[in-house]
């Protein structure tokens, strides 16, 4: 990369690029909050009839945030195509008869005292029937009969010729949710562990479970966090790495963490978390804080803390999050650490925004960034996981009208979709443990953080879903920033990208696609764990391992399957791998910078974690 120190300093001071105009737009947006008009062909989210909005909003009060019209259309598509495939119906009927015969034989073998082989194996991610008691009569019949029925419906909804891919996935997903309601694990007298607990306690487990349910319901009505959250308060038990808030505007607080070493690497690290989460997932308890780990390794770390918006922020746009957020943070860090480039890191949606910012800066020939790191972040939303089940025109129309009524999407409403994606782990397991067994699962720091939900502004979330998820504008070269079309291939700085094996939000194969859209060296990590737990992968975390490989810009492309096949696993956390990569791409260590910008008065506003993170 060509050094452009003098030009970059001029850009930061004058707000102009080499053409003398583009960054001036950005500067105006950053510091006044002005919003540039969207292209004329962009869908107008404000062009709706109030009566239509109110109707959708009313339906939204009695549903988990899913468009009933979208579901009905999907089932009509499936049913009509199934009706014109008599051979498929014949095969499904044959499978049903075969399953009934197999189950009858299985029951007979049990009655004769034999130990029959399992007819259906559980999927690797299915934990509902783990335990020896599920292999005993009659509970083994319950679970095997259920799994046979589940498998039949999977075949009946997944493999129907002519059904659109989206409708097929919606029908399969919806059917699975309905079937799960009748799982033997959820029905108390069919669950051997609930039966044993009931006999041991004389039924008091149900009394305890009822009390737990009532407590949870009252907390939900009053908007209170779950029991145990009081043990994980930001600034007390979590988010306690020492630091100062050195800048604040209507959307962000910028935290600068205090150095823990005499000398630090010259280039600072800026972290951009997603605004659908509180930033302190990267600064949880001292034993699993990524921020603390970086600071102790000699890095100067800055963190963006997003404001939790309310109805007054309904018109904040996606560009506002870029201009008032990432670009403003880069400018302020440039004042605190003058003349140095920045190692920028982004998590989830924050990583997508960081890619957009990097492409925009590259177009302006601004070399403020030294490297880019993203955690579970996508740029191509063609295969963005099961979240796409909730993304189509009907669904977005429904969501937008719900947000229009409130001015935002509430955290609990947004959480509904994520909970449905992992209903067995996040909904039904809790029903069994807390309400049927009558036991309370102790909250840990990650669970408490997950319950500390945020809201999303009406305009921003609508633009995000339509422009990125639905229309996939970023990967297709149609995404505009401040009226400038950007291209990811303009990014020339090295990229470090992290994907997680069990990610249901950003599947690692989708994250891996950055190889297709960049023209630079890409170092990719595939780590065990999920979207959150795989990133919070501290040193010494049991069972953690990862794969790592760097692909140069001149290397031939490896598809995800081939990459995974030829890349060996390494034991332990991926954090040291990333920190080593940062060190390699950093200059020699220097004296640590002062806290805060010399151009601000006062230089420091208040101590971390700041005020925005406290807004519920």
Active site residues per annotation: 348
Distances (CA, A) of 597 to 248, 256, 307, 367, 608: 12, 10, 21, 20, 16
Please state, in angstroms and rounded to a whole number, the distance separating the CA atoms of residues 461 and 483. Answer: 19
Placement of tokens 């009931």 in the chain: 198
Q: With beta carbons less than 8 A apart as the criterion, state whether 384 and 507 touch.
A: yes
Q: With beta carbons less than 8 A apart as the criterion, state whether 261 and 298 touch.
A: yes
Q: What is the CA radius of gyration of the chain?
A: 26
Please state, in angstroms and rounded to a whole number, the distance separating the CA atoms of residues 288 and 536. Answer: 7
Q: With beta carbons less than 8 A apart as the criterion, state whether 155 and 162 touch.
A: no
Please state, in angstroms and rounded to a whole number, the distance separating the CA atoms of residues 301 and 580. Answer: 16
Is-cis flag, bond preceding 157, omega within 30? no
Task: Please name the residues in contact with 91: beta carbons below 8 A apart, sequence gap of 6 or more.
Answer: none
Please state, in angstroms and rounded to a whole number, the distance separating the CA atoms of residues 15 and 71. Answer: 49
DSSP type of residue 269: E
Please state, in angstroms and rounded to a whole number, the distance separating the CA atoms of residues 481 and 39. Answer: 10
| Nearest CA among 187, 268, 263 for reference residue 432 | 187
Element (H, E) at 405: helix 393-406
Element (H, E) at 247: strand 243-248
Secondary structure of 175-215 in the HEC alphabet?
Answer: HHHHHHCCCCCCCHHHCHHHHHHHHHHCCHHHHHHHHHHHH
Please state, in angstroms and rounded to a whole number, the distance separating the CA atoms of residues 327 and 17. Answer: 14
- Note the residue count of the chain: 616
Please state, in angstroms and rounded to a whole number, the distance separating the CA atoms of residues 354 and 345. Answer: 7
Please state, in angstroms and rounded to a whole number, the distance separating the CA atoms of residues 266 and 69. Answer: 56
Output the DSSP codes for 425-494. Answer: IIIIHHIIIIIIS--PPPP-HHHHHHHS---EEHHHHHHIIIIIIIT-TTTTT--EETTEE--GGG--S-
Q: Which long-range contacts (CB under 8 A, 24 or more apart) does 450-453 make?
A: 450/532, 451/225, 451/226, 451/229, 452/225, 452/229, 452/234, 452/278, 452/616, 453/410, 453/411, 453/412, 453/414, 453/415
Q: In degrees to the nearest 10, what's the CA dihedral of 94, 96, 98, 99?
A: 160
Burial of 39 (0-12, 13-18, 19+ CB in 10 A): exposed
């Amino acid at each position: 990369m060509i050094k452009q120190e003098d030009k970059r300093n001029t850009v930061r001071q004058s707000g102009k690029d080499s053409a003398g105009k583009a960054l001036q737009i950005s500067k105006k947006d950053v510091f006044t909050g002005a919003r540039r008009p969207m292209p004329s062909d962009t869908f107008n989210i404000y062009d709706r009839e109030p009566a239509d909005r109110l109707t959708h909003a009313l339906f939204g009060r009695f549903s988990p945030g899913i468009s009933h019209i979208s579901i009905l259309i999907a089932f009509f598509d499936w049913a009509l195509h199934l009706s014109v495939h008599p051979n498929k119906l014949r095969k499904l009927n044959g499978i049903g008869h075969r399953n009934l015969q197999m189950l009858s034989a299985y029951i007979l073998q049990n009655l004769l005292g034999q130990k029959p082989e399992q007819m259906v194996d559980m999927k690797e991610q299915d934990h509902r029937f783990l335990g020896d008691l599920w292999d005993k009569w009659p509970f083994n019949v319950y679970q095997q009969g259920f799994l046979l029925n589940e498998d039949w419906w999977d075949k009946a909804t997944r493999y129907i010729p002519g059904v659109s891919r989206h409708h097929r996935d919606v029908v399969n997903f919806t059917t699975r949710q309905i079937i799960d309601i009748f799982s033997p694990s959820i029905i108390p007298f069919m669950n051997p562990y609930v039966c044993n607990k009931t006999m041991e306690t004389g039924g008091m487990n149900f009394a305890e479970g009822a009390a737990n349910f009532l407590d949870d319901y009252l907390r939900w009505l009053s908007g209170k966090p779950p029991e145990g959250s009081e043990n994980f308060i930001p600034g007390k038990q979590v988010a306690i790495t020492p630091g100062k808030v050195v800048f604040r505007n209507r959307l962000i607080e910028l935290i600068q963490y205090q150095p823990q070493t005499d000398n630090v690497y010259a280039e600072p690290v800026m972290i951009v978390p997603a605004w659908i989460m509180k930033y302190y997932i990267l600064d949880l308890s001292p034993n699993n804080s990524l921020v603390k780990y970086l600071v102790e390794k000699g890095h100067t770390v800055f963190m963006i803390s997003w404001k939790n918006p309310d109805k007054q922020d309904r018109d904040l746009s996606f560009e506002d999050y870029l201009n008032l957020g990432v670009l403003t943070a880069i400018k302020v860090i440039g004042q605190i650490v003058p003349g140095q480039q920045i190692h920028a890191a982004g998590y989830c949606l924050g990583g997508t925004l960081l890619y957009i910012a990097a492409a925009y800066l590259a177009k302006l020939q601004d070399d403020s960034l030294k490297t880019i790191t993203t955690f579970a972040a996508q740029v191509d939303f063609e295969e963005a996981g099961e979240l796409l089940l909730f993304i189509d025109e009907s669904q977005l129309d429904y969501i937008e009208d719900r947000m229009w009524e409130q001015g935002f999407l509430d955290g609990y409403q947004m959480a509904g979709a994520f909970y449905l994606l992992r209903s067995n782990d996040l909904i039904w397991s809790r029903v069994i443990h807390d309400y049927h067994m009558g036991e309370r699962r102790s909250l840990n720091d990650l669970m408490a953080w997950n319950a500390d939900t945020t809201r999303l502004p009406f305009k921003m979330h609508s633009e995000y879903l339509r422009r990125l998820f639905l229309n996939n504008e970023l990967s297709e070269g149609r995404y505009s920033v401040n009226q400038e079309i950007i291209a990811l291939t303009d990014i020339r700085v090295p990229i470090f990208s992290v994907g997680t094996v069990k990610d249901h939000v950003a599947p690692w194969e989708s994250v891996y696609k950055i190889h297709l859209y960049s023209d630079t060296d890409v170092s990719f990590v595939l780590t065990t764990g999920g979207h959150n737990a795989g990133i919070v992968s501290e040193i010494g975390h049991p069972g953690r391992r990862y794969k790592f490989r760097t692909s140069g810009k001149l290397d031939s492309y490896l598809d995800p399957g081939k990459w995974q096949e030829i890349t060996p696993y390494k034991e332990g956390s991926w954090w040291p791998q990333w920190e080593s990569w940062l060190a390699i791409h950093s200059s020699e260590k220097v004296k640590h910078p002062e806290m805060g910008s010399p151009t601000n008065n006062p230089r420091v506003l208040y101590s971390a974690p700041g005020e925005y993170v406290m807004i519920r």
